[in-house]
Amino acid sequence: MLRLYASQAQSLWDELLPIEVQDLPEDLREIDALLADPALMAPIAAHWAREAEARGRSSAIDGRPTIAMQTYVRLMVLKQRSRYGYETLMREVSDSIHLRRFCLIALHERVPCESTVRKMTRRLGAQTVTELCREVIVAAARERRFRARAVRIDSTVVEADVRYPTDAGLAADAIGALAREAGKLRARLSKGPAKLACKVRDRSRAAGRRLREISRTLKSRSGERKDRVMKLTGDAGKLLERSIGETRALAKELRAKARGRGAKTKLAAARRLDELTDRCDKVAEQVRKRVVGGAGPGASAPRRVRRASAPRGV
């Protein structure tokens, strides 16, 4: 049974307390005035009614009474505000008179168990919590407590090395992407009559050797440095062209075997391979143009060409 509103939080014991203890701190007092709006309970009541209707029960009389939703909402506000866990939250509220009064829990009453509050959070769900937050924002805007014009986000920036794209580096990445995609596909179709004959050789190690050689060449002071870098970049492009040819042959074989059971899966895999090879072919074409044009020793790639990457899954 849903219980929306809490009982009277003050008792005869409160009369014995000093005035400073009876009054809430300024920050809690402002939040308390905002949460006193009965409209905030509407999303919870609507969720409970939908749940009761789905189960064919009455939300008003069936079952044991829940903890007061006013108390629950205030507990969740404190949890979000202080970043406490459930156990720590219950312990802090139990030990603090101010927090008890804010959560509408009398001095002679027991604080709800942390498992009860945790289960209530799971039962209400994220959608109800979102609606509740929206109601709070509307109430705050209506009372002109703040103007919802912008959102400030605090983020942490971590320093990292910048990896500038180069033609040889893009070719090596494309070679690895083609090999990984083909390997995943062959692993799925390695058994039965659908076993694939075409293979895509992984030339990542060969491309990596070219990249390391380019790095060593750039550090040298030889007058032939530019020509050497162009030759190594061209070698990486040729490795990529071989991998592209093997991948296209694999896609062709997939379309040829796309009959009967699993035909749609094979056709979809072939389309993804075609899309990936088209992207990699742009990298290979760029390498060819760069080698013919004879750019500087850095052989850096223009920013308009995106780094080749494999699509998700097969």
d(CA 171, CA 182): 17
d(CA 46, CA 168): 60
- Per the CB < 8 A criterion, the answer to whether 138 and 36 are in contact is no
Q: pLDDT tens digits for the chain (314 residues)? A: 788 877 766 666 666 777 777 778 888 888 888 888 887 888 888 888 888 888 776 655 566 788 888 888 888 888 888 888 889 999 999 888 888 888 888 878 888 898 988 888 888 887 787 777 777 777 776 765 555 566 666 677 777 777 778 899 999 999 999 999 888 887 777 665 557 778 888 999 999 999 999 888 888 777 778 888 899 999 999 999 999 999 999 888 888 888 877 788 888 888 999 999 999 999 999 999 988 875 444 444 444 434 444 444 33
Q: Which residues, in sequence order, are CB contacts of 308 under 8 Å at separation 6+?
A: 170, 173, 174, 177, 276, 279, 280, 283
d(CA 225, CA 43): 71
| pLDDT tens by residue, 171-198 | 999 999 999 988 888 777 766 555 777 8
Output the pTM of the full model.
0.44
Tell me, what's the pLDDT at 306?
Answer: 42
Tell me, what's the pLDDT at 146?
Answer: 55
Residue with tokens 């040829």: 256
Q: Which residues, in sequence order, are CB contacts of 130 under 8 Å at separation 6+?
A: none
Q: Which residues, in sequence order, are CB contacts of 180 under 8 Å at separation 6+?
A: 310
Tell me, what's the pLDDT at 294?
Answer: 55
Tell me, what's the pLDDT at 302?
Answer: 41
Tell me, what's the pLDDT at 265?
Answer: 82
User: Token digits for 141?
Assistant: 């805007």
Which of 243, 255, 245 is closest to 194 using CA atoms?
A: 255
The total of other beta-carbon atoms located within 10 Å of residue 7's CB is 13
d(CA 184, CA 182): 5
Tell me, what's the pLDDT at 240?
Answer: 92
Q: What is the Cβ-side half-sphere exposure of residue 178, based on CA atoms within 13 angstroms? A: 35
Residue with tokens 């014995």: 16
Tell me, what's the pLDDT at 242?
Answer: 92
Tell me, what's the pLDDT at 129?
Answer: 76
